[in-house]
Amino acid sequence: MFDFTGKNVLITGASGALGTTLAVQFAGAGANVVAAARSRYDEVAEKAGPNSIGVRLDVTSEAEWAAATARAEERFGPLDILVNNAAYLRLGNTESIPLEEFRRVIDTNLTGTLLGIRAVAPSMRAAGGGAIVVVNSIAGLTAAPELVAYSSSKWALRGLMRAAAKGLARDNIRVNAVHPGIIETPLAYAPDGSPIVPVDNLAVPRNAAPEEIADFIMFAASEQARFATGTEIVADGGYGLGPLD
């Protein structure tokens, strides 16, 4: 479906369900994959195959971003694609969310994405251009009172994505976002195992498989999307339509 032969891709949050799926699918499409995460990155790289490496990356650390980018360039050359997929979620409304947890969500989801774009932009310029995909969320499109920190970070990401797209346009670097609906990952469930967002009454009454969302992300990163930048792709199973009854 997609051809990424010879392209060098760095994926953050690679140890999660979506990140691992992205690593495997990009590698299967011919890419050289850098699987970046705080843990289990070597395990993901092994799943993705011989043209993959794992690197430790806490996305909130500028030093670790510099090290991860340097390791990627050392192994494969300049980066062509960055998928900002790492995310942290903590339940809580405006009154109940602990301040330190609010800050951690913002630091991971928003600041981590900023640091990633800053780290890879020089590498992409050296490659003659590139594509950055920000994995956003339906929480960045709607009101989510019990996800006040997560929703705040995702709404802010929309501004960051557009500003980066405009700022990097003359460098031939495209920046787009994908807004998934509820994906079948641990992030979809509260600590007690109940779904954070029920989907039974949506147009598509199920959670998305990671592979389905990975296809949208790969499209945004591909040459098929070469005329798009500063764009938001919504893959929410009809969540934005509201309940059917």
Which sequence positions are flagged as catalytic? 150
Radius of gyration of the CA atoms of the chain, in A? 17
Host H or E run for residue 167: helix 148-168
Residue 225 to residue 178: CA distance in whole angstroms: 12
Residue 164 to residue 175: CA distance in whole angstroms: 7
Residue 139 to residue 151: CA distance in whole angstroms: 5
Quick check: 241 and 184 in contact, CB under 8 A? no
Of all residues in the chain, what percent are helix, strand and coil, respectively (each to 5)?
45, 20, 35
* Single-letter code of the amino acid located at 94: T
| Residue (of 170, 166, 72, 81) closest to 130 by Cα position | 81
* Single-letter code of the amino acid located at 96: S
Q: In what order do the strands lie in the sheet with 173-180?
A: 52-56, 32-37, 8-11, 81-84, 130-135, 173-180, 232-235
